[in-house]
Structure 1
Amino acid sequence: MTIRSLIHEMRPRLHRVVHDSAESPPGSSDESESPCRWSELPEELLREILTRVETDDSGAWPSRRSVVACAGVCRGWRLLTKEIVAVPEVSSKLTFPISLKQPGPRDSLIQCFIKRNRTTQTYHLYLGLTNALTDDGKFLLAACKFKHATCTDYIISLRPDDMSRRSDAYTGKVRSNFLGTKFTVFDGQPPNAGAKMRKSRRSSHLVKVSPKVPLGSYPVGQISYELNVLGSRGPRRMRCVMDTIPANSVEPGGVAPTPSEFPFPFRSPSKPASSSNTPPGDLGHPKDSALVLKNKTPRWHEQLRCWCLNFHGRVTVASVKNFQLVAAGRETGQPSQQQQQRNERIILQFGKVGKDIFTMDFGYPISAFQAFAICLSSFETRIACE
């Protein structure tokens, strides 16, 4: 039997994933009642198959959806698939839901686009599957705008039809102030959801405690807009402070926090959740050394008589919403050529290509969720800045 026929036979089982939940304790799952013969493959053979499915890009092997189908066969296949599949930083691919919280690739940008629905005040993020600016894409995240008396909330969810903060699809939110000039990004997953340290009553030694990870809103970034002295002829001036990402993450060898999996309810509450590479109870960097993103300086175009940015064909419509973000350089005297190149590397770019269609391209060290949250802030009207 060929690999293609093997994957083809596994696809119907994609909708029969065995979940690690409190309702299905060990020993009572579906795979024990109706065992799948594919789950009995030797681990060495299975690892070789999944490795070739994951790494081959020549088109001779199944498409990306088959990698997810492999994870849906049984628990053993799922664990092995998650072990083999590389994070977006390395593979430049978004495979599992947790990929939306992991940093993008270092040497390229993941191309996405946002569709806006003015009637329902919703925004859907899609992964671009081709180089076309308006392809069908693969759905990633959804957001809905809720206007209050003193602020505006953009609720971000994994499902387009479920915007409840009590839902297991809740991912985070973006909240603006009354003027729409300052925004706070909240993550539904704690940035350091691990064991905390406390002193034991019987001794002076520190004891690890692994509490359950609650669902909520945890501030992970701030976005501020300033007065644009160029008016409508230039892009907005914005500044983003990413509290959970160290400033040295953009340096050679720098590391950004990379969550491993979603906490409860996406996993069993009996297992402590580990959400990042940083030590438990610590973000890994002082608050004053958080990564700061700023607008890339536009250039004056003599023929068009306006300030322009080079989006390399990814933006086709002039708009005040268009922007490119780069890392803000540190005040260290005259920067070297390598430092200037790093400071000019685009981390996030956003621009208009249609009436309600916008491209969103992001890379290391921010994630798809963080990039989407920053772009949502650009949809808010702010008379104070324009």
Structure 2
Amino acid sequence: MPFKSITHDVKGELGSISRKGKSRSLRVVQDSLVCINAFKQSCWATLPYELLRDVLMRIEASEVTWPTRKTVVSCAGVCRNWREIMKEIVKTPEISGKLTFPISLKQPGPRDSLLQCYIKRSCNNQTYYLYLCMFLAASNEDGKFLLAARKCRRPTCTDYIISLNADDVSKGSNTYIGKLRSNFLGTKFEIYDSQPPNVGAKVTKSCSTRLMYAKQISPRVPTGNYPIAHISYELNVLGSRGPRRMQCIMDAIPTSSSELEGVAPMQTEFLHSNLDTFPSLPFFRSKSTRTKSSQFGPLSSLRDGMLVLKNKAPRWHEQLQCWCLNFNGRVTVASVKNFQLVAFAKNVVVRQEQQENVILQFGKVGNDVFTMDYQYPISAFQAFAICLSSFDTKIACE
């Protein structure tokens, strides 16, 4: 039976009964109870678990790419049983190389290949959109939307608010997942996650955190500022010509994750809990007990145990008279923003293959279009935030 007919039957049985509510004040409660009863009476409620799992596995295997992969997400939204089965069937991006559920954006990319995305810039409203798919110059259609970021200028810094919703890019939204903050010169950046990336992560005290909790729409969605990475661009004091030199310290990823058998931390779901069970809110603490932020601290000394990414050094092309990197056809326009990041280890002899293994590459292909390809051990959210730092104006670096 085609999947469309399956979803049509389920939605028909649930939807036809749910529209019979008489009182508007009780309609929400009545609809939920009727939907549950309707599903229990349907033929899908009595389907054996093994058979249902086999059907869902066939659907997941057949729907490989977007937009057809939305049927996998639809299956997970039918009921709790279907959702639990789909969560077991759908593999993480590290294994499958696919982005299926929103939490996939917080999980490390594939190990064996670069996951290809692209960013579209809107100069009118200072917003950046991340899409999944290879960019084709002959196509004007957008791929699968992943993330959006809006630039917010402040007197002493610049914030890039990152959201799952392209139409609501704000800190008070339930779709807010993190931000990127720069210093005044645009040479140092810090990436914040809205939720703890690992056990024991500490929230950073800031005015924006207080504002976030004050404007929070739903008390069931805890939101904070957890620093997960620091980015530093080397100052060009002498004004010599050349490409930008950058360094990224990933606070939440160990150095060993870049090895063949290395493991990077991975978020499995978005946290949804009451504020009573959430760790002590930072704006309740006194001034003497606040958590000090390492924001824009010195990055010259590498922190032990943390993954460090550095831009791959380009080579000078005599015939073209420019600096060149091999982007394998993914970048077509020369720009100071283009870069490739590889793993770097202090006082350790890094293998040649590890030096050549590009973890993140970013480059220009059009007036306001840029490709972004990433892989394990960083996530789409982390890669997007790092690329946003390249858009910021850097007077002291150029």
Tell me: CA distance 1:246–1:29, structure 2 relative to 1, closer, same or farther (3 Å).
farther
Counterpart CA distance in 2 for 1:157 and 1:66 is 23
**TM-score, normalising length: structure 2:** 0.78
Deviation at 1:236? 1.2
Deviation at 1:329? 3.3
Deviation at 1:299? 1.4
Counterpart CA distance in 2 for 1:319 and 1:40 is 60
When the two chains are superposed, the root-mean-square deviation of aligned CA atoms in Å is 3.3
Counterpart CA distance in 2 for 1:113 and 1:270 is 40
Deviation at 1:353? 0.7
Tell me: CA distance 1:287–1:330, structure 2 relative to 1, closer, same or farther (3 Å).
closer
Match of 2:392 among 367, 380, 383: 380
1:21-40 matched pairs, under 5 angstroms:
31-35=35-39, 36-40=42-46
Q: Does 1:82 align with 2:90?
A: no
Match of 2:205 in 1: none
Q: Does 1:155 align with 2:167?
A: no
Tell me: CA distance 1:356–1:294, structure 2 relative to 1, closer, same or farther (3 Å).
same
2:152 is paired with a residue whose SS is strand
Counterpart CA distance in 2 for 1:353 and 1:15 is 46
1:121-160 matched pairs, under 5 angstroms:
121-128=126-133, 130=134, 132=136, 135-160=141-166
Q: Could you give the per-residue CA deviations for residues 315-355 of structure 1, whole angstroms, max 9, x where no partner exists?
A: 1110000000010134235x5xxx21012101100011111
Deviation at 1:173? 0.3
Deviation at 1:139? 0.6
Q: Does 1:332 align with 2:340?
A: no
1:242 is paired with a residue whose SS is strand
CA contact (8 A) 1:153 1:174 kept: yes
CA contact (8 A) 1:185 1:221 kept: yes
CA contact (8 A) 1:13 1:69 kept: no
CA contact (8 A) 1:298 1:308 kept: yes
Q: Could you give the per-residue CA deviations for residues 138-162 of structure 1, whole angstroms, max 9, x where no partner exists?
A: 1100100000000000000110121
Counterpart CA distance in 2 for 1:159 and 1:53 is 27
Q: Could you give the per-residue CA deviations for residues 90-113 of structure 1, whole angstroms, max 9, x where no partner exists?
A: 011000010000000000011111
1:1-386 matched pairs, under 5 angstroms:
1-2=1-2, 5-6=5-6, 31-35=35-39, 36-56=42-62, 63-128=68-133, 130=134, 132=136, 135-192=141-198, 214-228=222-236, 234-264=242-272, 288-333=304-349, 335=350, 339-386=351-398
Counterpart CA distance in 2 for 1:315 and 1:257 is 30
Counterpart CA distance in 2 for 1:10 and 1:230 is 68
Counterpart CA distance in 1 for 2:9 and 2:317 is 57
Counterpart CA distance in 1 for 2:264 and 2:325 is 28
Q: Which moved more, 1:33-42 or 1:169-178?
A: 33-42
Segments of 5+ residues of structure 2 without an aligned counterpart are: 17-27, 203-219, 280-301
Counterpart CA distance in 1 for 2:361 and 2:81 is 39
**TM-score, normalising length: structure 1:** 0.80
Counterpart CA distance in 2 for 1:184 and 1:299 is 29
Q: Could you give the per-residue CA deviations for residues 110-141 of structure 1, whole angstroms, max 9, x where no partner exists?
A: 1111111111000011111x562554201100
Counterpart CA distance in 2 for 1:58 and 1:99 is 15
Deviation at 1:260? 0.5
Deviation at 1:192? 2.4
Tell me: CA distance 1:302–1:287, structure 2 relative to 1, closer, same or farther (3 Å).
closer
Counterpart CA distance in 2 for 1:301 and 1:229 is 25
Q: Could you give the per-residue CA deviations for residues 284-341 of structure 1, whole angstroms, max 9, x where no partner exists?
A: xx952100000011112121011100111111110000000010134235x5xxx210
2:358 is paired with a residue whose SS is coil
Q: How many residues align?
A: 342
Counterpart CA distance in 1 for 2:82 and 2:55 is 11
1:149 is paired with a residue whose SS is coil
1:111 is paired with a residue whose SS is strand
What is the one-letter code of the residue matched to 2:167? D
CA contact (8 A) 1:228 1:237 kept: no
Deviation at 1:64? 1.0
Counterpart CA distance in 2 for 1:311 and 1:288 is 31
Tell me: CA distance 1:116–1:3, structure 2 relative to 1, closer, same or farther (3 Å).
closer
1:98 is paired with a residue whose SS is helix
